[in-house]
Amino acid sequence: MQMRLFIPREHARVDDLNASLEAVLANNGVSPAIQGDVRLIVEELASNAIEHGDLARVEAEEHELCVDIAIREHLLTLEFRESGAPFNLLEQPPPDLDADILARPTGGLGLHLVRQGSEQASYQRVGNYNVVRLTLRIPTEETGA
């Protein structure tokens, strides 16, 4: 199974994107737990792109977010593409999870969860686009994980 979804770069459209993704995943027998992981990943990456992407740098037709989703064997691959300033989430330092919650700086936990929830992650800058590819393992009855 392979699918590509585009949405405008607007917070209001992220829920539409997630609803479409969840419908596709449910129709392909993906568990609610994995659907939840995908929702968290998409919300985090889309929100960061919308909040921190520098739209002044890109052409109007590039003001969209694109998510490719593929399921092959027991792997689910998400490729998230957005036209913002270069930003490699894999190079961001992990949050200090041992620090007092009130002493921690704001931000970073969502990206940490995205990295931790993925079996594989890669980043590329392709033209004006940040391209993040994440792979998640789909548990089977045999593996239970």
Average pLDDT over residues 47-64: 65
Question: Which of 98, 103, 113 is closest to 48 using CA atoms?
Answer: 113
State which of 5-14, 80-89, 121-130 shows the largest mean pLDDT: 121-130
- Give φ, ψ of 32 to 5 degrees: -60, -30
Rg over alpha carbons for the chain, rounded to the nearest Å, is 16
Residue 145 has pLDDT above 70, yes or no: no
- Model pTM score: 0.78
Residue 142 has pLDDT above 60, yes or no: no
